[in-house]
Amino acid sequence: MIVAENLRKEYSDDEVKTVALEGVSFNIEKGEFLAIMGPSGSGKSTLMHIMGFLDRPSSGVYKFENQGIEDLDDDQLAFVRNNKLGFIFQFFNLLPRTTVFENVRLPLAYTKISEEEKRQRVMKAIEAVGLSHRMKHLSNQLSGGEQQRVAIARAIVNDPSVIFADEPTGNLDSKSGQQIMEILQDLNEVGHTIILVTHEQYTAEMAKRIIKLKDGQIVSDERVADRKIAKNGLLK
């Protein structure tokens, strides 16, 4: 599904060059649950931005579903990003005085499907994160964990090929964080490819594979031997 070959990303500021990624290579198969770890400045956010079509590499090859990023113009990148990818962030980015239903519906605003199909998709996504009983509540009436669940529903309403989760538990208490990871594990079990960016080892160990970055390079790429499974807000 995803192929990265010798990815390099550098930034220039007043003729000073900063290398964020240097020679990063890996493959991701459909249905994987991958965690990307690394300290601040290791390049993990830069890598996620490239994989999520939010940025372009300075050099190297990045392919998504056999399509090279260098072959796509900005409009084509936006189409892939909106139709193939879902994003979950540390800060929920919800409209505060808008209902759960309308927040989840946002990605469907410019699609050509019927209003009834939009409604069905939204209800299915909200049900998937266990918030059907909160559908008509305003997002600012919800707890942090519930708001993140709304953000997940919004990310999956278009049935994306890949879900990118950037520090999705970073603003939550441990129990709410484990509930979010349980939802991500469940989404992975039904076929969604999940790419998680985190600095927390115990969160990364809920994935199936961990890539660790340091100074813009991969220092390890390993399967999780003793994977943690979240059920009912608890780890098993």
Residue 32: pLDDT over 90: yes
What's at 113, amino acid-wise?
A: I
- The backbone torsions φ and ψ at residue 167, rounded to the nearest 5 degrees and listed phi first, read 50, 55
Structure confidence at residue 5 (pLDDT)? 95
Residue 18: pLDDT over 80: yes
Instruction: Characterize the bridge pairing of strands 59-64 and 162-166.
Output: unpaired
Residue 217: pLDDT over 80: yes
- Per residue in 60-107, pLDDT (tens digit) is 999 999 888 888 888 888 888 888 999 998 888 899 889 999 999 998
- Per residue in 116-136, pLDDT (tens digit) is 999 999 999 999 999 999 999
What number does CATH give the domain 2-232? 3.40.50.300
Structure confidence at residue 155 (pLDDT)? 93
Cα–Cα distance for residue pair 4/23, rounded to 1 Å:
9
Looking at residue 157, the DSSP 8-state letter turns out to be: T
Residue tagged 């300075």 (tokens) = 58
Residue 138: pLDDT over 60: yes
Looking at residue 58, the DSSP 8-state letter turns out to be: S
Cα–Cα distance for residue pair 149/179, rounded to 1 Å:
9
Runs of H (alpha helix) within 107-172: 115-128, 144-156
Residue among 204, 34, 207, 171 nearest 93 (CA): 171
Structure confidence at residue 176 (pLDDT)? 86
- CA dist 143 to 34, 140, 163, 172, 186, Å? 27, 8, 23, 10, 21
Model pTM above 0.85: yes
